[in-house]
A and B are shown apart, each in its own frame.
Chain A
Amino acid sequence: MALLELKNISKIYGELKALDNVSLHVDKGEWVAIMGPSGSGKSTMMNIIGCMDKPTKGEVLLDGEDISKLPGKRLTDIRRDKIGLIFQQFHMVTYLTAVENVMVSQYYHSMPDEQEALEALGRVGLRERAKHLPSQLSGGEQQRVCVARALINHPELILADEPTGNLDEANENIVLDLFRQLHREGTTLIVVTHDPEVAEAAQRTIVLEHGRVAREVVNENFVE
């Protein structure tokens, strides 16, 4: 059953077609990687999937609902309720501690719950570092806090933008292991990357070039 379906979407900025008649189907529980060089339309696609932009043409079905024509306020609601975001730059609120950063996500979603937030940090192995400010955490630790933050509201879809782009190999593996765990729990994952190793961890890789889907590779070595 499809969680996300892009139907012939295009995003046109004046002369430039950032996305040109792209279609994509992601099943519930699936782990998909999106690859492509700079300017291939990855970011645009990510923004549209993340409910932060709308396509010029085409339909976006999330959980069966067409979100491509919704007003910004409704998009915010959907993003908050259904999507967990992970960024390349980590993006933490610099003046809040690790646990508080996780709680910010709860705060906008429903109700802050420090205990639950601490458990989420425990899951990413940072229970001990909960009271640290971002400046006192390493890059890998910060990204793990972001993973905790993304999963705290049990989103249907986790959307990660170059999640390992700024990490060393050890931390990259920790994050990928976390993704594997989430996948096993049934979370749908879409990971945008240009790191082939990260892409290979997914079940399926979509390669974008010049705003179109150039090819689709199924990872035969994928281990459940």
Chain B
Amino acid sequence: MTKRRMFLRMVTASLLRRRSRMLIALLSIGIGATILAGMVTIYYDVPRQMRAQMRSYGANMLLMPAEGETLDSERLSAALQKLPADALVGASPYRYVRLDMTSRQQSFTTAGTDFAEIQKTSPYFSVEGRYPEAPREILVGREIAETIGVKEGSDMELTWQPTARESDGNPSDDRKPGARLAGSAKGFGDAMVYVTATLDNEAKIAELTIDASTQTPEYGGRTAEDALFLKQFIGKALPLEMGDDVDALSGATVTSTAVVEALNTARADAAVQPKTTRYMVTGILVTGGEEEGYVFMSTEDLQALTGEDALDVAELSISADEEQLNAYAEALTGDGVQARLVKRVTKSETAVLGKLQALVFLVTVVVLILTMICVSTTMMAVVSERRREIGLRKALGASDNSIRGEFLGEGMFLGLLGGALGAVLGFVFAQVVSVNVFHASIMFRPLLLPVTVLVSMLIAAASCLMPIKRAVAIDPAIVLKGE
């Protein structure tokens, strides 16, 4: 038999045949290792979990058209392909337009978006009622709902009044003899005033109709009917100058100006026909923010109304730390889009996770210190209990180093057992904590097993230093005193 085998035989016999005391030491190392393994798992795994949770703070990245470019759904989905699927929590496209509610002489900012995605990127949105599911269903912000008195289930008729696009040339291109022009401009209270005009064969105004139904009837509303006001326009060439060519209707300066503006920007009739659709309100949106002043409808509904596939911005919610987010933003930028981090969100996420990790780290250190104290105390008791045996070993010729080796061996063997036990229990512990506190299950890290065992062995060894010092100091002569 080799010395090493005898050493192992002695160490294991000491642990296996002197169970009660060693069980306490094993238990304290085991518990220490359990908490260590658990905490380390939480330390590394929970930021991943928490990041997903923190995504309830809202989007942390914005995707916008690059300078001079436009964004559409095709470009958006092409950009999203560049992100790893498991990192992307949600991506909400937004298109903002003003729609008019003619019956109330109001116009509202309306967002065309994807309701399924909104629930992922902005989980804090709360809807009284339900999110729209079918075509022609909309959400109305609480502020609007209170102003105009709509409720869940109400109908709302919204009108899209197109403004001519610059790409189609100038309004002057359309001012041909005999042309029919239509235009609109913002009047009182930002509500739209519509005009239609027919030009004579000298391209001067022959006929004029004003739709000022969104304006206050006794003031701006009169522009549509006041014969003297209307008469000023007839026979004049566009563009008109307020004050020079026409005078404002008294008490309706804003509306009068809007009429002139609408005429000056009016385009050939066909391109600018207003379009109206009836929608059903499925819920009132409560966010506590500016969204309460918006109407929300699906991208498809808005496209059907306006006939254009265009997006202003997309809000992305990505599960990643700040560094990764910056990398993603860089990857996404290009091909006509640019990405930007929402600093307010990313910064606070980083700060919260940092604090959480610091806390877990601190608890781990404290637990390790407590484990060391506990193991050290137990080993101290073991040394006093085994004074005679140590004396005997020394009397039989054990050198100080042999005594050190044997106790260190016992300690590290305990560390090995306790560490292995702790790694397994620690994972269970972390799993329980994670499921109960964070409502997420945890990934097993194979590396954790050797690391926990190694750390446990080191801690057990460190805990043995004081007891070993005491053991080495024992006088072998104690075995001779015959009491």
List the interface of chain A (C-beta within 8 A of B).
43, 46-47, 50, 52-53, 73, 76-77, 79-81, 85, 87-89, 91-96, 100, 103-109, 111-114, 133, 149, 161-162, 165
**B479 interface residue per 8 A CB criterion:** yes
Known: A52-B475, A73-B399. A93 touches B389 (CB 8 A): yes
A76: B residues at CB distance < 8 A: 394, 397-399
Interchain Cβ contacts within 8 Å, total number: 99
A85: B residues at CB distance < 8 A: 395-396, 479-480
Q: In the complex the two chains form, is A133's CB within 8 Å of B17's CB?
A: yes
Of B8-16, B172-180, B200-208, the one with at least 4 CB within 8 A of chain A? B8-16
**B446 interface residue per 8 A CB criterion:** no
Known: A52-B475, A91-B388, A103-B6. A108 touches B481 (CB 8 A): no
Task: Kindly provide the distance from the CB of A123 to the nearest chain B CB, expressed in whole angstroms.
Answer: 19
Q: How far does the alpha carbon of A103 sit from the alpha carbon of B18 in the complex, in Å?
A: 19
Q: How far does the alpha carbon of A91 sit from the alpha carbon of B13 in the complex, in Å?
A: 17
Give the number of residues in B that approach A within 8 Å (Cβ atoms). Answer: 33
* Residue on B nearest A93 in the bound complex, by CB: B389
Main secondary structure of the interface of B (DSSP, over half): helix
Q: In the complex the two chains form, is A87's CB within 8 Å of B6's CB?
A: no
* Residue on B nearest A44 in the bound complex, by CB: B477
Q: In the complex the two chains form, is A79's CB within 8 Å of B395's CB?
A: yes
Most interface-central of A79, A94, A95, A165 (chain B CB within 10 A): A95
Q: In the complex the two chains form, is B480's CB within 8 Å of A94's CB?
A: no
Q: How far does the alpha carbon of A133 sit from the alpha carbon of B17 in the complex, in Å?
A: 10
List the interface of chain B (C-beta within 8 A of A).
1-3, 5-7, 9-10, 13-14, 16-18, 388-389, 391-400, 402, 475-477, 479-482
Q: In the complex the two chains form, is A95's CB within 8 Å of B14's CB?
A: yes
Q: How far does the alpha carbon of A106 sit from the alpha carbon of B391 in the complex, in Å?
A: 17
Known: A95-B14, A104-B10, A114-B1. A162 touches B482 (CB 8 A): yes
B18: A residues at CB distance < 8 A: 94-95
* Residue on B nearest A79 in the bound complex, by CB: B397
Q: In the complex the two chains form, is B392's CB within 8 Å of A112's CB?
A: no
Q: In the complex the two chains form, is A43's CB within 8 Å of B3's CB?
A: no
Q: In the complex the two chains form, is A108's CB within 8 Å of B476's CB?
A: no
Known: A52-B477, A103-B6. A87 touches B482 (CB 8 A): yes
The 6 closest A-B pairs by CB, nearest first: A80-B397, A95-B17, A88-B482, A112-B6, A108-B397, A52-B477
Known: A79-B397, A95-B14, A109-B397. A52 touches B389 (CB 8 A): no
Q: How far does the alpha carbon of A133 sit from the alpha carbon of B18 in the complex, in Å?
A: 12
Q: How far does the alpha carbon of A162 sit from the alpha carbon of B392 in the complex, in Å?
A: 16
Q: How far does the alpha carbon of A62 sit from the alpha carbon of B347 in the complex, in Å?
A: 80
Q: How far does the alpha carbon of A213 sit from the alpha carbon of B399 in the complex, in Å?
A: 33
Task: Kindly provide the distance from the CB of B15 to the nearest chain A CB, expressed in whole angstroms.
Answer: 9
Q: How far does the alpha carbon of A93 sit from the alpha carbon of B393 in the complex, in Å?
A: 9
Q: How far does the alpha carbon of A136 sit from the alpha carbon of B141 in the complex, in Å?
A: 87
Q: How far does the alpha carbon of A85 sit from the alpha carbon of B477 in the complex, in Å?
A: 11
Choose one: B3, B13, B388, B398; the contact of A96 (CB below 8 Å). B13
Most interface-central of B2, B5, B395, B398 (chain A CB within 10 A): B395
Q: 8 additional contacts, CB 8 Å, given A43-B481, A91-B389, A93-B10?
A: A47-B477, A52-B475, A85-B480, A95-B18, A100-B9, A107-B6, A113-B1, A162-B482
Task: Kindly provide the distance from the CB of A110 to the nearest chain B CB, expressed in whole angstroms.
Answer: 9
Q: How far does the alpha carbon of A220 sit from the alpha carbon of B393 in the complex, in Å?
A: 38
A103: B residues at CB distance < 8 A: 1, 6
B396: A residues at CB distance < 8 A: 80, 85, 104-105, 108, 149
Q: How far does the alpha carbon of A162 sit from the alpha carbon of B480 in the complex, in Å?
A: 9
Task: Kindly provide the distance from the CB of B398 to the nearest chain A CB, expressed in whole angstroms.
Answer: 5
* Residue on B nearest A150 in the bound complex, by CB: B396
Interface pairs (25), CB distance under 8 Å: A47-B480, A52-B477, A53-B477, A73-B399, A76-B398, A85-B395, A85-B479, A85-B480, A87-B482, A91-B395, A95-B14, A95-B18, A96-B13, A100-B9, A104-B6, A104-B396, A107-B7, A107-B10, A108-B393, A111-B2, A112-B5, A112-B6, A114-B1, A161-B482, A165-B482
Task: Kindly provide the distance from the CB of B209 to the nearest chain A CB, expressed in whole angstroms.
Answer: 110
Q: In the complex the two chains form, is A87's CB within 8 Å of B479's CB?
A: yes
* Residue on B nearest A159 in the bound complex, by CB: B480
Task: Kindly provide the distance from the CB of B54 to the nearest chain A CB, expressed in whole angstroms.
Answer: 55
Task: Kindly provide the distance from the CB of B265 to the nearest chain A CB, expressed in whole angstroms.
Answer: 101
Q: In the complex the two chains form, is B399's CB within 8 Å of A52's CB?
A: no
B479: A residues at CB distance < 8 A: 85, 87, 89, 91
Q: In the complex the two chains form, is B392's CB within 8 Å of A52's CB?
A: no
Q: In the complex the two chains form, is A96's CB within 8 Å of B481's CB?
A: no
Task: Kindly provide the distance from the CB of A164 to the nearest chain B CB, expressed in whole angstroms.
Answer: 11
Q: How far does the alpha carbon of A50 sit from the alpha carbon of B394 in the complex, in Å?
A: 12
A47: B residues at CB distance < 8 A: 477, 480
Task: Kindly provide the distance from the CB of B474 to the nearest chain A CB, expressed in whole angstroms.
Answer: 11
Q: How far does the alpha carbon of A33 sit from the alpha carbon of B398 in the complex, in Å?
A: 27
Task: Kindly provide the distance from the CB of B14 to the nearest chain A CB, expressed in whole angstroms.
Answer: 6
Q: In the complex the two chains form, is B1's CB within 8 Å of A52's CB?
A: no
Q: How far does the alpha carbon of A76 sit from the alpha carbon of B6 in the complex, in Å?
A: 20
B6: A residues at CB distance < 8 A: 103-104, 106-107, 112
Q: How far does the alpha carbon of A95 sit from the alpha carbon of B22 in the complex, in Å?
A: 13
A108: B residues at CB distance < 8 A: 393, 396-399, 402
Q: In the complex the two chains form, is B482's CB within 8 Å of A104's CB?
A: no
Choose one: A43, A80, A91, A161; the contact of B392 (CB below 8 Å). A91
Q: In the complex the two chains form, is B392's CB within 8 Å of A93's CB?
A: yes
Q: In the complex the two chains form, is A94's CB within 8 Å of B389's CB?
A: yes
Q: In the complex the two chains form, is B1's CB within 8 Å of A43's CB?
A: no
B399: A residues at CB distance < 8 A: 73, 76, 108
Q: In the complex the two chains form, is A96's CB within 8 Å of B10's CB?
A: yes
Q: In the complex the two chains form, is A43's CB within 8 Å of B480's CB?
A: yes
B9: A residues at CB distance < 8 A: 100
Q: In the complex the two chains form, is B3's CB within 8 Å of A112's CB?
A: yes
Q: How far does the alpha carbon of A81 sit from the alpha carbon of B18 in the complex, in Å?
A: 30
B1: A residues at CB distance < 8 A: 103, 111-114
B398: A residues at CB distance < 8 A: 76, 108
A111: B residues at CB distance < 8 A: 1-3
Most interface-central of A47, A76, A81, A114 (chain B CB within 10 A): A76
Q: How far does the alpha carbon of A100 sit from the alpha carbon of B10 in the complex, in Å?
A: 8
Q: How far does the alpha carbon of A47 sit from the alpha carbon of B479 in the complex, in Å?
A: 10
Task: Kindly provide the distance from the CB of B88 to the nearest chain A CB, expressed in whole angstroms.
Answer: 61
A161: B residues at CB distance < 8 A: 480, 482
B475: A residues at CB distance < 8 A: 52
* Residue on A nearest B391 in the bound complex, by CB: A91
